[in-house]
Structure 1
Amino acid sequence: MQKQGRKSAMKNVGMKAESYRTAIATGILHAPPHCIELLRNGNTEKGDALKTARIAGILGAKRTDELIPLCHPLPIYRADVEYELFDAHVEIIAVVETIGPTGVEMEALTAVSLAGLTLYDMLKPHCEPEDLCLDQVKLQKKKGGKSHFTRVLKEAMPASVIVLSDTVAAGKKPDTAGHNVLEILQDANFTSIDYKVIPDSPEQLLALIEQQKNHYPLILTVGGTGLGPKDLTVETIQPLLKREIPGLMEASRSFGQKRTPYAALSRGVAGYIENSLVITLPGSRQGAKESLTAILPALVHLFDVQKNIPHAGGYQ
């Protein structure tokens, strides 16, 4: 019996942060020298082939998700097609840019392919079919996403996770949020992670922070950032911060609000307490995951550049 193939599915990019992305693709159309001259002069019997093919390539980039079944629709902020003409071939260069959760490699490759096929179509009345060949369509460069904004530390680094919850501390429910944070940190090459669960107690939190500051470059609290009467993590941590980094929580809330309007209610803060970067995450599993996912590339960059020394600001 023949096994059934795996079903096709579009990759879920809902938890990927948006970033600026660009891709450059090239291809070669081989053609006789007299056809190259027709391209140079813009006078094939169907008109100016280079201009028409450029429009076709741009249109192809914009409609890639309609042509390739499992490609995601993306806002295309730039799509351009250029050429280099040689004696017996033309090189096609496509550049595509977006800000989105996934890259535009396929859009650039589609632009090159559509432009090349359009040139083929407009030159075929002027030569034999075997004289034309679209060849070497390939990606030359891409920038953005995980290939550019890494989510894994170059060198392993310790961290601390402090979960604040009366019910979890009392054993009345499992800690899903804290364990989710642990998994994300481990995948990012944080090691020797200290994990503690305490009640919603400002006194116990203060004692732990006092004990751990300067020993862990990164301390994450989980819980107590909402508006409940016992949500006092922010009130406990904020007075201790010597250098706040408001952009981390701005990025976290912005990322979360695209997925749930409740993210606007999170009051999380981030900054340095002496040599430890302390970040307060929400207590829900999804809230903690979304918040850490949004800021992880910035954290990795921060620690890779300055290790456990407070970053002086700016980005590269």
Structure 2
Amino acid sequence: MDGMFDVGHKQGTYRIAKAQAILQVKPETITLIKEGKTPKGDVFEAAKVAGTLAVKKTPDLLPYCHPLPIDNVTIHVSLNHDSLEITAETETVWKTGIEMESLTAVSIAALSIYDMLKPVDDSLVIESVKLLNKKGGKSDFKQEFDKKLQAAILITSDSISSGEKSDQSGKIIVQRLEKLEIDVVESKIIPDDVNQIESLLKQFCDEQKIDLVLTCGGTGVGPRDMTPEATIKVLEKQVTGVAEMLRNYGQQRVPFSMLSRGLTGIRGNSLIVNLPGSTNAVNDAMDSLFPGILHIFKMMENEKH
């Protein structure tokens, strides 16, 4: 049997979820609650405490839920003619959703009220428990385009271009882009040569008008690592935040990521991103870049954030 989903490759994003439970009671029970005459005390405060505790205990109760930081919990109980409505809204900045915490909160809050009211009401029914809404995660940041984006991949490596090694990182990039429905229209392998890299970058951007150009390799500090030197010559605007994010994301996984000198920037209407050469680093980079980076094409079209 499989265990928890692996979320190690994900980035933390702001997430919020709201759930609801309905507890059916007798109308006279509502009167007792309003008059403060229920035998076990204040059901409103008990529900808030029980629901808040339930949020914190969710991974202890549900074996496939990840422990996650809880930034805020709001429990609300309202009275109707013959029912109580309990809502819970929870917030976090984390790698996975928080809807189960909200659902657990209203479930335990409803059970707590049930326990408090059962001495005076034998008709109690927890009628429903449901998720009202949730936000957060990569799905909220997907971009829609009138036509498919086009991409070019440029592998810079003396050993791969000479046939000494096979290209694995390029294949990973192609597979990942295809899943994102981005068309790979060019894929080239060249030596670590500044002039060749510069020439091809200009060709991809100026002549072929390719939207996304991903270079792979040559970002380290070795004597033949020259991709950033070639890239800086063709960039019109640097997008430093992307390069910083790539290094930060990688550094959380491998202590050598800080040694990458990769750049990101714009030439014309093309985005150029320098990726490291190793397969693990490429996988990490693709995880961290998408879908957020695609918003840059909306920005270049002068659309609002």
Does residue 37 of the first structure (1) align with residue 26 of the second (2)? Answer: no
Corresponding position of 2:154: 162
Whole-angstrom CA distance in 1 between matches of 2:222 and 2:128? 61
TM-score by length of 2: 0.94
| Aligned with 2:241 (options 237, 247, 257) | 247
Secondary structure at 1:156 match in 2: coil
Decide whether the 8 Å contact of 1:42 with 1:50 is kept in 2. no
Structure 1 residues 121-161: Cα deviation after superposition (integer angstroms, max 9, x where no partner): 11101111xx1111221111111113312277664111101
CA pair 17-273 structure 1, distance change in 2 beyond 3 A: same
Whole-angstrom CA distance in 2 between matches of 1:153 and 1:183? 20
Secondary structure at 1:172 match in 2: coil
Question: Gaps (5+ residues) in structure 2?
Answer: none
| Aligned with 1:59 (options 47, 53, 73) | 53
Percent of aligned pairs with the same residue? 39
CA pair 254-21 structure 1, distance change in 2 beyond 3 A: same
Corresponding position of 2:198: 206
What amino acid is aligned across from residue 209 of structure 1 in structure 2? L
Whole-angstrom CA distance in 1 between matches of 2:264 and 2:222? 20
CA pair 243-109 structure 1, distance change in 2 beyond 3 A: same
Whole-angstrom CA distance in 2 between matches of 1:247 and 1:66? 38
Aligned residues: 303
CA pair 300-211 structure 1, distance change in 2 beyond 3 A: same
CA displacement at 1:289 relative to structure 2 = 1.7
Decide whether the 8 Å contact of 2:18 with 2:102 is kept in 1. yes
Corresponding position of 1:147: 139
Corresponding position of 1:261: 255
Decide whether the 8 Å contact of 1:39 with 1:50 is kept in 2. no
CA displacement at 1:192 relative to structure 2 = 3.8
Whole-angstrom CA distance in 1 between matches of 2:33 and 2:275? 59
| Aligned with 1:94 (options 88, 94, 107) | 88
Decide whether the 8 Å contact of 2:55 with 2:102 is kept in 1. yes
Secondary structure at 1:136 match in 2: strand
Corresponding position of 1:3: none
| Aligned with 2:189 (options 183, 194, 197) | 197
Corresponding position of 2:282: 288
Whole-angstrom CA distance in 2 between matches of 1:251 and 1:65? 30
TM-score by length of 1: 0.91
Decide whether the 8 Å contact of 1:23 with 1:96 is kept in 2. yes
**Mapping of residues 1-316 of structure 1, within 5 Å:** 7-128=1-122, 131-150=123-142, 155-214=147-206, 215-303=209-297, 305-306=298-299, 310=300, 316=305
Decide whether the 8 Å contact of 1:64 with 1:106 is kept in 2. yes
Whole-angstrom CA distance in 1 between matches of 2:104 and 2:88? 9
Whole-angstrom CA distance in 1 between matches of 2:144 and 2:244? 22
Structure 1 residues 244-273: Cα deviation after superposition (integer angstroms, max 9, x where no partner): 111111221222222222222111111111
Aligned-pair Cα RMSD in Å: 1.8
Secondary structure at 1:277 match in 2: strand
CA displacement at 1:240 relative to structure 2 = 2.1
Whole-angstrom CA distance in 1 between matches of 2:49 and 2:188? 59
